[in-house]
Structure 1
Amino acid sequence: MKKETPICHHCARPEGVKKHGIGNTGNQRYFCRFCKRTFQTRYIYRGNEENMAMQIKKLLSQGHTPEQISSETQVRLQTVNYYAEEMESVC
């Protein structure tokens, strides 16, 4: 039984897609020979994890700067700022 190859996220063509290694999160990466771009079928963003929001809020309440938190947690600064604004609106 042959697995279906995914459709390219960029040009929507299935016939030129081939495997292209493994991403940082361990998910299969693909390469499209038509548009010459890579993509994954699944993405994992650390900033979307539930416990990440609690961790960011805890670090903010301890007096860490958003830049320090972003560097320490490997989450984008924009995400940290979002949670900081959310905390301010609640207080």
Structure 2
Amino acid sequence: CKEQTRVVDDNGFNPVWEETLSFTLHMAEVALVRFLVWDHDPIGRDFIGQRTVAFSSLMPGYRHVYLEGLTEASIFVHVSVHDVYGKVSSL
């Protein structure tokens, strides 16, 4: 699955999206979540940074996702998981 937020104009240092992206996972134990950050301006798009995280290691709640290769650069996200099916419970 792939989703993209809208572009935030004229706020490169502290953009706020306030968007919700939802996904349906069929094999959560092997799923990866990749965050890509691009600078979008009239000249074109420039790659800023990225981070790939195993879905199983994403804890619910507000989190800073630090971008690889950049000192102190992160995006602030809220993670929530709903309707987990297929869980085997021990009796």
TM-score (norm. length: structure 2): 0.28
TM-score normalised according to structure 1 size? 0.28
Structure (1 or 2) with the larger CA radius of gyration: 1
Q: Larger helix proportion, structure 1 or 2?
A: 1
